[in-house]
Every structure is written in C-alpha cells, then in structure tokens.
Amino acid sequence: MKNVRWVIQNNLLAENDLKSLQNACKSNDVEFEEVTIIPFSDELPKFTLDGKINIYYGSTTFMFNLYNKLKPAGLFFNPESYSIANYINQWGEHMLNSGAKITTIKEFTTENHADDSLWFIRPDADDKSFDGTVMAFGRLKNWRKNFLQFDDTKLQDDSKIVVGPPYNIKKEWRNYVVDGKIVSSSLYRTNFKLSKSNIDIPQSMLEFTQERIKEYQPHEIFVIDIALCGDAYYIIECGCLNSVGFYAADINAIVGEVTKYMSNHE
C-alpha cells in the first residue's frame, strides 16, 4: 500500500484507539503520520501533501476543518448525506427516529409541553455538538438558556435537532462498512450502559444491516449504528468513519480494508 498514508491525530483521542491504529498501520504495511490538533481551532496542522492518498482519522474539529479547506478524497464525509433527515428519507420506518420530528432548539423549547415530560433529543447533523440523550422538557429549556450565554458553542437557536419519545433500547452495535460490505462490528451498549464486545454480534443484526446497506449508503466508507428495541432492529444513525470510536471492533481489518479500497480507487 505504498500509495496510501494515514494521517492520525495523536491528542484528544482514546489512548487505546490511537495505539491500535498505529499497530494496524504497521501490520498492514502502510505509512502513517501523526498530527496534533488545537481544540476549537479552525486551523489545520501541518502534514505531508504529496502524490500519496492521505486517509485521515481524528476529532470532528479536525474533520470539519479538512472538509472546509481541502475536501480530500481520504475524508469520507459530506454534510448533506450525514443527517437524520436524510436517513429518514432514505430508510423510512427502518430508522429508530422515523416518528420523530426535525425542528430547531428555539422552536421546540417554545412549544407547550409539561416540564416533567421526557424527550429524546439529538443533533440532526453528524457534528457531535452534543450527545443524544433523554431530557425533561423543563431541563431542556434551562439547557437552552445556558448554552446561549456562550459564544464558542457549536449550538445556536437555529441548530437543527431531532426530537421524539424516549426509546427502550436493549442493545446497540456499530458496523464498519467499506464498499457495501460490513468489515467489522462491535456491540457498544447494553441497556444504556457501555458494553463492548466483538462476540455478541447476532447474525440477524448483520443481515438486517446488510439489507439496509443495499438500499442506501451515505458514502462508500462509513459506520452504521443499529439498535435492538423489543424484537426488532432499527438504524440509529450513520457516521463518518474518520472520527468514530472503534469499541471492540477489529481495527486491523478496518484499516486494511479502507486502505485497500483507497489504494484501488486513487
């Protein structure tokens, strides 16, 4: 894989993921280069730009800056594809949030709901501006007041959010997809608690996921998170592989398949 290089952020990442990525690059005989990112800065760090294909891995800050300034082939992202609104349009009832509404923070918090009513809320975009969570309506209103006091937050009154009823999710998995195929999977949550496993990967979950991939893919390289609610599987969201966690997935296999795909599609 002499025509490919991984550019890996070496700060603000889980130490295990960083070490595993480094080892995976070595195992796959692919060059890698480390960079340090300044938090909340819109400046790119210095890294090698030459005839090789750079594949990037790091924080969402790093990825958004790459997208805004370079839009390189080794960044598997575009904001139009990575949104809950798009997923609902593509997959319909297979989406966990298919019955939810997409609104703005200001619009929703000015609606008339009981302060103790519970709501699931998450960003529409794949920007990690906040984590998906369940909140009482009264707390949501206070949360909005708090973030409006700060200028450096990604959240604004017109930020699009997805709002719906809370879901009783038993388990959640992340699947890593390259060129239409699942190359690795990991359980990452059980009953809302972190639970990593590369053993608890039901064939029925893989089959459901593969069927959805046949219907639509936001990119040739991405991740897709699946939830088990009752006895049915649903899509939670997709994500840009350049900036996701690996949990118990086979990082060596992921790096190998992504590198091979990019090497063959330069």
| pLDDT tens-digit series, residues 87-120 | 999 999 999 999 999 999 899 999 999 999 999 9
Q: Are residues 107 and 128 in the same domain?
A: yes
Q: Are residues 184 and 235 in the same domain?
A: yes
Distance, CA of 10 to CA of 59 (rounded, Å)? 10
Q: Are residues 134 and 195 in the same domain?
A: no
Q: Are residues 88 and 180 in the same domain?
A: yes
C-alpha distances in Å from residue 238, one per residue of 22, 55, 142, 177, 226: 25, 19, 29, 10, 9
Distance, CA of 261 to CA of 179 (rounded, Å)? 8
Q: Is 248 inside a domain boundary? A: no
Walk across the sheet containing 133-136 and list its strands. 101-104, 160-164, 118-123, 133-136
Q: Are residues 122 and 230 in the same domain?
A: no
With beta carbons less than 8 A apart as the criterion, state whether 76 and 242 touch: yes
In the numeric block, the tokens 């699942």 are attached to 182
Distance, CA of 5 to CA of 258 (rounded, Å)? 11
Q: How many domains does the chain have?
A: 3
Domain that holds residue 232: 84-94+168-239
Where is the domain boundary, 142, 164, 186? 164
Give the global pTM: 0.92
- Helices and strands in the chain, H and E counts: 7, 12
- Domain with 223 in it: what CATH number? 3.30.470.20
Where is the domain boundary, 113, 138, 164? 164
Q: Is 245 inside a domain boundary? A: no
- Radius of gyration from C-alpha coordinates of the chain: 19
Per-residue pLDDT tens digits for 35-87: 999 988 899 999 999 999 999 999 999 999 999 999 999 999 999 999 999 99
Per-residue pLDDT tens digits for 177-187: 999 999 999 99
